[in-house]
Amino acid sequence: MDPLSEVLSLLRTRSYVSSGFRAGGEWSLHFSLKDDVIKCYAVEAGGCWLAVDGIGERVRLEAGDCFVLPSGRPFRLASDLTLSPMDSKAVFPPALPGGTVTLNDGRDLLLVGSRFTVAGRHAGMLLKMMPPIVHIRKDVDQAALRWSVARMREELRDGQPGGALIAQQLAHMMLVQALRLHLLEGVHEPGWFAALTDTRLCAAISAMHANPAERWTLQELAAEAGMSRSVFAQRFREAAGETPLEYLTRWRMLLAGEELEVGRSVSAIAPALGYASESAFTSAFKRVMGCTPRNYLNKSKTRLPLQAAQTGRDTHRRLRG
């Protein structure tokens, strides 16, 4: 499995809402999101501006455009970004599946979209690896994403048997599709995505994902990338914003979290992830995840859903090779 697929396989989509939004005249809305919320939109008619909090880029959206906000950051949609924004909660009532909210006369914009949350104790950490805005510009790519949005809206509105499962699969498909297209654009801020677009760095990342139990050295990873040790270390840090071994440790701990949640012991997980002792593993886990493996499990308040257990079994198979 490639690195993008492996990371996204740890995100379990749930809690789906799909609706429409019409706006006219002068307006500006501010949307506050939880860290685990992903939004996917298609502009059916008209246009507006998009600004994500903490990001300097302002995006003009026109009919046909699609965009995904995978990082859970607050954002604004507006006819004019210089206007003082209104809290979106004042405009949007409790979500009505498949419904449409209208602001003012609704003649200047029609936006349809889907919102879903992602489950998993480490979802926040994974979403921080995602770009703040994925803007889909090519016609053929827009058509595919618009179809997914429209189909999810139909499934949630009609309430047919199996609709929840279809919505779940569509949500994951939209996220993967949007991020894959974002990767192909090839211009990214420093971070995990920037590293994936560099074919040599991606080779090293793929090696880490393929064999997390290997006791990788910087020299060995540089060889996977076909680069000298010093050039590889510098290029990886510049692209990814962290060292190769920091990335490796973080990936191992994400896998460890999945394994812990389905009942594997520290004594089994540690060697499967390349650690010579339980204490070394526990120290790394606490440094990356912010708590010990035992406390990580104690914080769980609900039982794992079936899909989470399946993800854990898939991870277990990967660790066994």
124-140 tens-digit pLDDT: 666 666 778 888 877 77
**48, β-bridge pairs:** 61
> Greater confidence, 146 or 77?
77
Least confident of 78-82, 157-161, 232-236: 157-161
Query: Is 215 a residue whose pLDDT tops 50?
Result: yes
Residue 317 has pLDDT above 50, yes or no: no
What pLDDT score does 150 carry?
80
| pLDDT given for residue 285 in this prediction | 94
If residue 140 lies in a helix (H) or strand (E), which one and from where to where?
Answer: helix 139-158
Q: Can you tell me the mean pLDDT for 108-121?
A: 78
List the domains of the chain with CATH numbers. 3-185 (2.60.120.280), 192-320 (1.10.10.60)
Question: 307 or 178, which is more confident?
Answer: 178
Quote the CA–CA distance of 139 and 62 in Å, as a whole number.
Answer: 12
Q: Which of 9-13, 113-117, 317-321 has the lowest mean pLDDT?
A: 317-321
pLDDT at 320 over 60: no
Largest CA distance in the chain: 66
> Are 37 and 114 contacting, i.e. CB atoms less than 8 angstroms apart?
no
The residue to which tokens 């999945």 are assigned? 258
